[in-house]
């Protein structure tokens, strides 16, 4: 036995596997296959078919295999049309933490498609969803990020939402955030964490 | 230098946290001079007169191009034989030991090294197996190595190296596996014939689909150059390229935990690597 020159795919393995046509119709059928590895491959290839967005979102709601869910979320992120973004936002309401966190990571990468939904998310009735929306802002490359965060610390009544936002303002905030940070300290005078985090953010923003 | 171009302690903290979150690279205080120097160079190159202006561009630029340029400036992109050798030790002392407990004896063990660059990594793996893995007497091993750049693939196939690339190769191995050719060294024909080089764009699903059934993937210092979504997509393709129970080795500053939850973390004595669960399909 020894080092042998190989091929990208060994011919001895499962002859004929994944040799099916990769057209939209076949891929949509494969997305329902019993074998999760086939569903994963179908979801990955469907990322190149905007017409498959609805089917991917629909599968996302019923899929039970965690590995397939991950690939569907990534595929929706690649498609990034409004239907895909709504499908990803739906994941923020999921009880499945892994799915939720993956959707957050993907949404962070899509500033322009996500921006039109951010106002609604930051006013969601569920404070957890508002926190997830702030988590999305963490790496969102969008010029409105600071303004959204300022609005949160000025108006949101939930301390955990404000605490998440103020942490981030320490990084992205500029001089225009100073008044809002001072106001936040006054809104939560008995909350040591808010006092600490707002002071830290003010220090980091500094004096220009 | 205007006062505004000085990077304050607070600026450094802010930058360090942001850069860690984006790349997984954490700069200790002792690297402050290095980081400041690179930042000031990029600020000059981009015409930003203050750290705040530069950081805002870095953070919010839609294309992410400047972040990419800065990552390139902050990383030492040098390839040479036996770079991060501890992972090769992990391969022979831990990873392969585990793989052969469940691998069908009738099939070769398959290793994928991507990107191949000019071949230092795949040839280094081959040498390491020949020298340090006695089980090679009982197993066939295939090494496939891929790159997007066809010119670099030609270089890899030729196997010619300058002295800088072989500086960490012990003298006995240099004698055994290389032939001096003027100012260069050529890897032996036996090793050149043992490694298959292929062109792969890891972003291309068709390319990735054609590379399968690997037991170990070395993908070091490549994903760091991708945006988060591309990194995740590539990691998911690697998941399907691996056999159940297969392993992926990333560069020392990279962490699969920050990219995808599909893999299990495996902490071996020599290195932390990532595994496709044995029960995965």
Question: Which residue ranges make up each domain of chain B?
Answer: 3-74, 85-275
Shortest Cα distance, chain B CAs vs residue A139, angstroms: 8
DSSP B168: T
Contact B233 A44 (CB under 8 A): yes
* β-pair partners for B253: none
**pLDDT of amino acid B69:** 84
Is residue B77 a known part of a binding site? yes
Contact A107, A114 (CB under 8 A): yes
| B272 CB neighbour count, 10 Å cutoff | 16
Averaged over A10-27, what is the pLDDT? Answer: 68
Encoding tokens for residue B202? 């890891």
Which pLDDT does position B4 carry in this prediction? 52
Cα(A150)–Cα(A145) distance, rounded to whole angstroms?
Answer: 9
Question: Which ipTM value was assigned to this complex?
Answer: 0.83
More confidently predicted of B280 and A42 = A42
Q: Is the pLDDT of residue A77 over 90?
A: yes
Task: Provide mean pLDDT across the span A94-113.
Answer: 94
B 21-60 near A (Cβ less than 8 A):
21-22, 52, 56, 59-60
What residues are paired with B113 via a beta bridge? B145, B218
Contact check, Cβ <8 Å, A1/B64: no
pLDDT, averaged across chain A: 92
Chain B: residue nearest A40 by CA? B240
Cβ-defined contact of B136 to A142 (cutoff 8 Å): no
Instruction: Work out the average pLDDT over B96-113.
Output: 95
Q: Is the pLDDT of residue A80 over 60?
A: yes
B209 is in an annotated binding site: no
pLDDT given at position A205:
87
Q: Is residue A43 pLDDT above 70, yes or no? A: yes
Distance from CA of A181 to the nearest CA of B (A): 17
Contact B105/A at CB under 8 A: no
Core vs surface per residue A140-149: b (16+ CB within 10 A) or e: bbbeebbebb
According to the CATH classification, is domain A110-208 in 1.25.40? yes
Is A203 at the interface with chain B, CB within 8 A?
yes
Answer for the pair B275, B216: CB distance below 8 angstroms, yes or no.
no
Beta carbon pairs, A and B, within 8 Å: 139
Q: Across residues B160-188, what is the average pLDDT?
A: 94
Q: Which residues of B touch A142 (CB under 8 A)?
A: 60
pLDDT at B143 over 70: yes
Q: What is the pLDDT of residue A15?
A: 40
Q: Please, what CATH class does the domain formed by A22-107 belong to?
A: mainly alpha
Residues of A in contact with B136 (CB under 8 A): 1-3
Q: Which of B55, B210, B215, B229 to mutate to test binding with chain A, by most A CBs within 10 Å of its CB?
A: B229
Quickly name the fold that domain B85-275 has: Rossmann fold (3.40.50)
Check CB contact of B281 with chain A, cutoff 8 Å.
Answer: yes
Distance CA A31, CA A22 (A): 12
Query: What pLDDT, on a 0 to 100 scale, did the predictor assign at position A208?
Result: 43
What's the pLDDT band for A207 if we cut at 50, 70, 90? low
The reply to whether A176 touches chain B by the CB within 8 Å rule is: no
Averaged pLDDT for residues B68-87: 81
Q: What is the pLDDT of residue B79?
A: 82
Q: How far is B247 from chain A (nearest CA, A)?
A: 16
| CA count, 13 A, side-chain hemisphere, A128 | 9
Assess whether pLDDT exceeds 70 at residue A26.
yes
In chain A, ranges of CATH 1.25.40 domains? 110-208
Question: Quick check: B60 and A145 CB within 8 A?
Answer: yes
Note the pLDDT tens digit of each residue in A134-179: 999 998 989 999 999 999 999 999 999 999 999 999 989 989 999 9
Instruction: Check if A35 contacts B (Cβ < 8 Å).
Output: yes
Find the helix or strand (DSSP H, E) in which B179 lies: strand B178-181
Say whether pLDDT at A127 is over 60.
Answer: yes
Res. A21 pLDDT band, cuts 50 70 90: low
- Helix, strand and coil content of chain A, in percent to the nearest 5, comes to 70, 0, 30
A14 pLDDT higher than 80: no
The residue of chain A with its CA nearest to that of B190 is: A3
Residue length, chain A?
208
List, in sequence order, the alpha helices (H) in chain A.
24-30, 36-46, 53-62, 66-79, 82-90, 97-108, 111-122, 127-137, 145-155, 159-172, 178-187, 192-205
Report pLDDT digits (tens) over B192-235: 999 999 999 888 888 898 899 999 999 998 888 888 888 999 99
Dist. CA B262–CA B237, nearest whole Å: 11
B3-74 classified as CATH 3.20.20.140? no
Dihedrals phi, psi of B255, to nearest 5 degrees = -140, 125
pLDDT the model gives residue B281: 79
> Which helix (H) or strand (E) segment is B142 a member of?
strand B141-147
CA A62 – CA A94 distance, rounded (Å)? 12
Report d(CA A82, CA A61) in Å as an integer. Answer: 17
Partners of B197 in beta bridges = B145
């Amino acid at each position: 036995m020894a080092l042998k020159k190989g091929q990208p795919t060994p011919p001895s393995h499962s002859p004929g596997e994944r040799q099916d046509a990769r057209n939209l119709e076949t891929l949509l059928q494969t997305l329902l296959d019993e074998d999760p590895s086939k569903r994963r491959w179908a979801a990955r290839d469907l990322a190149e078919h905007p017409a498959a967005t609805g089917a991917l979102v629909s599968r996302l709601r019923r899929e039970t295999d965690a590995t397939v869910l991950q690939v569907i979320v990534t595929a929706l992120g690649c498609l990034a049309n409004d239907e895909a973004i709504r499908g990803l936002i739906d994941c923020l309401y999921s009880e499945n933490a892994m799915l939720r966190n993956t959707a957050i990571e993907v949404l962070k990468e899509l500033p322009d498609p996500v921006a039109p939904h951010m106002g609604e998310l930051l006013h969601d009735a569920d404070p957890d969803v508002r926190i997830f929306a702030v988590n999305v802002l963490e790496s969102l490359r969008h010029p409105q990020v600071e303004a959204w965060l300022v609005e949160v610390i000025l108006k949101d009544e939930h301390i955990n939402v404000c605490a998440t936002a103020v942490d981030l303002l320490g990084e992205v905030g500029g001089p225009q955030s100073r008044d809002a940070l001072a106001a936040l300290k006054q809104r939560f005078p008995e909350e040591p964490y808010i006092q600490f985090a707002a002071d830290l953010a003010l220090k980091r923003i500094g004096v220009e | 230098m205007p006062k505004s171009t000085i990077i304050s302690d607070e600026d450094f903290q802010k930058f360090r946290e942001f850069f860690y979150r984006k790349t997984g690279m954490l700069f200790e205080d002792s690297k402050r001079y290095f980081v400041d120097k690179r930042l000031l160079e990029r600020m000059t190159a981009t015409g930003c007169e203050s750290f705040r202006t530069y950081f805002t561009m870095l953070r919010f630029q839609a294309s992410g191009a400047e972040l990419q340029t800065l990552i390139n400036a902050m990383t030492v992109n040098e390839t040479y034989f036996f770079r991060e050798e501890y992972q090769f030790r992990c391969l022979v002392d831990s990873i392969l030991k585990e793989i052969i407990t469940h691998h069908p004896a009738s099939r070769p063990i398959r290793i994928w090294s991507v990107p191949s660059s000019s071949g230092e990594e795949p040839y280094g793996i081959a040498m390491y197996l020949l020298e340090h893995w006695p089980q090679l007497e009982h197993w066939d091993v295939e090494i496939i190595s891929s790159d997007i750049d066809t010119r670099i693939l030609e270089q890899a196939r030729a196997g010619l190296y300058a002295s800088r690339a072989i500086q960490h190769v012990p003298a006995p191995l240099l004698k055994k596996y290389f032939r001096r050719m003027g100012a260069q060294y050529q890897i032996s024909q036996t090793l050149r014939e043992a490694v298959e080089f292929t062109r792969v764009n890891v972003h291309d699903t068709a390319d990735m689909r054609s590379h399968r059934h690997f037991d170990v993937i070395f993908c070091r210092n490549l994903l760091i150059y991708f945006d988060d979504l591309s990194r995740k997509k590539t990691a998911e393709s690697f998941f399907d390229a691996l056999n159940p129970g297969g392993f992926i080795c990333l560069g020392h500053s990279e962490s699969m935990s920050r990219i995808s939850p599909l893999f299990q973390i495996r902490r071996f004595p020599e290195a932390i690597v990532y595994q496709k669960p044995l029960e995965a399909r």
